[in-house]
Structure 1
Amino acid sequence: MDLFDSGLRPLPGGRSESSFLAQAGDEISVVRLWVRPDRRGSEGYAIEVALMTLLRGIVPVPEVREVRRPVGDMPALVVTGFLPGERLDELLPLLSDEQLAAVGADVGRILARLAGVPMLRAGEFRDAELIVAPFPPGERTAGRAVLVHGDLTAARLLVDPVRLRVTGVLDWEAAHAGSPGDDLASVLSWAPQPLADAARAAYDGVWG
């Protein structure tokens, strides 16, 4: 696919100011430009690609279709498949308690799968090999380390509004190796009670 001949247009829903849709025939892709280094530095895009590759089949993340390294003034570019669904933060006000519980149960299952991705130690990812640079002593609790999304707000979850299932987990810029339960605690901090209770029950059904 020639990306720039495929009619790039901004990704709807405010998912990212540097993300665009590209369509060739029936195939829809998301094109993301890493115009500025993120908190992980110049390797941020490569770390995100590695995480999406690792997590395919574990949690709903897009398929990586193409990666272009930065060259001169051209930023890094990553092409992925398009994930359907609506942002959960936009859906929350429209859902009944029963619907919130259904979404929460699926969120809890996603969190349990993430907590099952082991890491050798806690720390920050430093490159595309997902080598972990340990946190300074005492900065984080020692113990079993797992993959943590790190910023799992409702805006970073896509949900099918009919089936009430999670269709996408977005934006892995804050991902790191950390403590099991960190992402659950994050979700419980913003989730309405029916969603929070169902998420905790589903998570505890695996790790309780």
Structure 2
Amino acid sequence: MNFNRLVSYITVAVSAFYPISYASLLAFRRFSTLSDDPEAKAIANEIYLVECGERPIIRGSEYTGIKHCEQLKIMFESLFSNINFDIPSPENFEVLRKADIENADLVKSLAICDLIETTAPFVIHFYQDFLIQCQLALGRSSEFVKRNYLDEHNLTEGDTCELQHIEMLGRMKLNYSDVISSTAYNTHQRIFVNLVSQHFSGCLKEMEKS
């Protein structure tokens, strides 16, 4: 695979999760706006601020204010010297236009928050493995790789201590058992999964062309 094709391949791979990361930001913001439960509202807003880059683990980090989807892009761009991936703004992806999270009701917004956070550890594992493989293929030293996205997510995802997102999500859902057990909740999750699957399939086809 020549250099330009490799850049294209990695760009599409990043494009796969780029809008889904942004969907998390949208869903938690929307749920925080709609929830009338003080603790749930506060937790959702906190996770929203984390997704916006406003709550970095290291206060004053150079990544403060940089959305997580953009941090993912920056990380993979750092595999190269002076390369910027041609990825559109997340709002322009069809998967987000169809999901219409900004106009979601409480049930739909919570369903998407739940789905994204529950699957987040698996996404982090995938991109960690993919980054390592790309580094090996390119001979890129870790000295030059801007790993903030992975380093932060390895600390916030996949475990159940108080400040990790899966535990925060559990507390956020505590008073919404009736919502979670509803048919509408499951339907919204299924629809979102189908939209994301279609998006991933499109990305895979593009990668196969590279």
Q: Give me the TM-score of the superposition, normalised by structure 1.
A: 0.27
User: Which protein has the bigger helix share?
Assistant: 2
User: Which protein has the bigger strand share?
Assistant: 1
Q: Give me the TM-score of the superposition, normalised by structure 2.
A: 0.26
